[in-house]
Structure 1
């Protein structure tokens, strides 16, 4: 952990190399020093259909799923690092959000 799940408006692909986005989000999590690099996973999922009060505003959102036990300050640091990595890639009119989500180890299965 963490699993860095990136959701983005598909048109973002016109301005960003998505593989670089995936790598930069991974780098942001890794730079915190909180995780074994082998345990960090980053992936991107395009969203073709979306609606918001802002019409067709493009977005990049990251759900950072991690096992409980990190302090709020540690999670905020990770979120800010990831946010800054994304902001360096996308234009200013793209909405960016990052959320750290604590997971319960008793309810997580992995093979």
Structure 2
């Protein structure tokens, strides 16, 4: 916890290696000061087939799933930092976005909690 999952068009991997993109997402998430570095999980899902506005326009969308407890302002700032970093890395990609959803503490469980 937290999880950062980046869906993107396959073509963006022509600009940067997957490992580098994952590292930059991790770095940006950690620099927000909201998470312990060892807790951050990052994944990347490239798509070969997709439509954006009924066109095959390249895209990036980061889905963050975090434990509840951060303020709306903290989450908004994290989204802005992530989209800003990705916009710098991919200046030709017009469709870059991020959203954050909260896990409920009462319903979350992982193996170490058993």
Alpha-carbon offset, residue 54 of structure 1: 5.1
What is the number of equivalent residue pairs in this alignment?
A: 111
Alpha-carbon offset, residue 98 of structure 1: 0.7
User: Does residue 83 in structure 1 map to residue 70 in structure 2?
Assistant: no
Instruction: Give TM-score scaled by structure 2 length.
Output: 0.88
**Counterpart in the other structure of 1:105:** 105
**Counterpart in the other structure of 1:42:** 42
Q: Structure 1 residues 105, 52: closer, same or farther in 2, change over 3 A? A: same
Alpha-carbon offset, residue 20 of structure 1: 1.2
Supply the RMSD in Å over aligned alpha carbons: 1.4
After superposition, residues 22-61 of structure 1 pair within 5 angstroms as 22-53=22-53, 55-61=55-61
Cα distance in 1 for residues equivalent to 2:76 and 2:93: 23
Q: Structure 1 residues 15, 54: closer, same or farther in 2, change over 3 A? A: farther
SS in 2 for 1:102: strand
**Counterpart in the other structure of 1:93:** 93
| Structure 1 unaligned spans of 5+ | none
SS in 2 for 1:106: coil
Q: Structure 1 residues 94, 15: closer, same or farther in 2, change over 3 A? A: farther
Q: Structure 1 residues 18, 94: closer, same or farther in 2, change over 3 A? A: farther
| Structure 2 unaligned spans of 5+ | none
Cα distance in 2 for residues equivalent to 1:11 and 1:92: 12
Q: Structure 1 residues 107, 49: closer, same or farther in 2, change over 3 A? A: farther
Cα distance in 1 for residues equivalent to 2:83 and 2:14: 20
Q: More displaced, 11-20 or 33-42?
A: 11-20
